[in-house]
A = this chain, B = another copy of it.
């Protein structure tokens, strides 16, 4: 019973990655699945609500799963971030680079257009930042990170560089830009160590 709903959600998530929210034609997306409009509007009152559900049920858990660990685990925070960068870099196949970061994509497209999207996306970003900054604060307390480091600012810098690299890489076929940026980011992270 939940199967069709999940199918609709995931297919539209992929369509949103490629075409943006405005570019998605939900009926065409589900038609490719053999599902009809009856099912679509049975589960989702409107296209916008479908978009919100994609953010809440697919995008949000994915990002919190990746970045949340920094806050909960007790490892060296710089090690954690450096590991995370390698994780992000490695599975970045051509398609991932070409389609970019789903969170970033939606922020750019929908933030100025719709408060519902903006608030949901901002909440994800804040949670990512909170986890990263908490890790850095813990590092300062444990003398793993220089006491001069401003954890909040450093966390925004790291997130900006990562998302920026993903974003700019979309214009090129290869992942060279991202690899270069991440190498420099590793150097920067090293300067934060105590």
Known: A104-B167, A156-B165, A160-B168. 5 other contacts (CB 8 A): A108-B167, A125-B168, A156-B184, A160-B160, A161-B164
Across the interface, name the chain B residue whose C-beta is closest to A170: B111
CA distance A159 to B159 in the complex (A): 14
Does A154 touch B at the CB level, under 8 Å? yes
Cβ B23 vs Cβ A113 within 8 A: yes
A118 to chain B, nearest CB (A): 6
Q: Chain B contacts of A153 at CB under 8 A?
A: 180-181, 183-184
Q: Chain B contacts of A172 at CB under 8 A?
A: 122
Cβ A108 vs Cβ B111 within 8 A: no
Size of interface on A: residues with Cβ below 8 Å to B: 47
Q: Chain B contacts of A121 at CB under 8 A?
A: 171
Q: Chain B contacts of A18 at CB under 8 A?
A: 112-113
CA distance A78 to B14 in the complex (A): 41
List 9 A–B pairs whose Cβ atoms lie within 8 Å, in order of A's numbering: A100-B111, A108-B170, A111-B171, A125-B168, A157-B188, A160-B161, A161-B161, A167-B167, A187-B191
Q: Chain B contacts of A157 at CB under 8 A?
A: 161, 165, 180-181, 184-185, 188
Copies of this chain, complex-wide, total 2
CB-contact partner of A112 in B111, B160, B170, B188, under 8 A: B170
CA distance A162 to B168 in the complex (A): 11
Does A177 touch B at the CB level, under 8 Å? yes
A25 to chain B, nearest CB (A): 11
A interface with B by C-beta (< 8 Å): 18-20, 22-23, 98-100, 104-105, 107-109, 111-113, 118, 121-122, 125, 150, 152-154, 156-157, 159-165, 167-168, 170-172, 177, 180-181, 183-185, 187-188, 191
CB-contact partner of A108 in B104, B125, B177, under 8 A: B104
